[in-house]
Amino acid sequence: MKTRPYLSLEDVKKIASAAEAEALAHHWAVTIAVCDDGGHLLWLQRLDGCAPISSSIAPEKARTAALGRRPSKAYEDVINNGRTAFLSVPSLRGMLEGGEQIVIDGHTVGAVGVSGVKSNEDAQVARAGVAAVA
């Protein structure tokens, strides 16, 4: 039997707190989503002033990064470079920058998705969350 790391509730709280601190330091109103390695939502937090649609986008960015085992920007780049057929991939709906996977000991254990500001800023907030545990 093989074993691997996983996200505990304490880990998820650390991730969310670090992401929130990064967003607040820049006065960015965002939604922060954390999911496990199967893309199942573990945490959703919408900061004051964030557009309601971000509550749908952030979890999908996280899910895409977790299931794809890579940042969601990788998919956005594929599409922007002309492979529009990639839009038909089943189960991935957050193919925009702002989803970052969480890798511990070589295993993807989950992902953080952020939505609410520019995509590169969303990714910055997500990476701050990942850095709290990785």
- The contacts of residue 73 (CB under 8 Å, 6+ apart) are 96, 97, 98, 99, 119, 123
Domain assignment present for residue 122? The answer is yes
What's the predicted TM-score (pTM) here?
A: 0.96
pLDDT at 84: 92
pLDDT at 91: 84
Domain assignment present for residue 120? The answer is yes
**Mean pLDDT score, 3-28:** 98
What percent of the chain has pLDDT above 70?
A: 100
Contact predicate 115/30, CB 8 Å: yes
Q: How confident is the model at residue 31 (pLDDT cuts 50, 70, 90)?
A: very high
The count of structural domains within the chain is 1
Domain assignment present for residue 3? The answer is no
pLDDT at 41: 98
pLDDT in tens, 54-103: 999 999 999 999 999 999 999 999 999 999 998 898 888 999 999 999 99
The CATH number of residue 91's host domain is 3.30.450.150
Closest C-alpha among 129, 72, 74, 73 to residue 102: 129
Contact predicate 32/17, CB 8 Å: no
d(CA 45, CA 61): 14
pLDDT at 36: 98
Q: What average pLDDT does the chain have?
A: 97
pLDDT at 23: 98
Q: How confident is the model at residue 112 (pLDDT cuts 50, 70, 90)?
A: very high
Domain assignment present for residue 33? The answer is yes
pLDDT at 86: 85
Domain assignment present for residue 112? The answer is yes
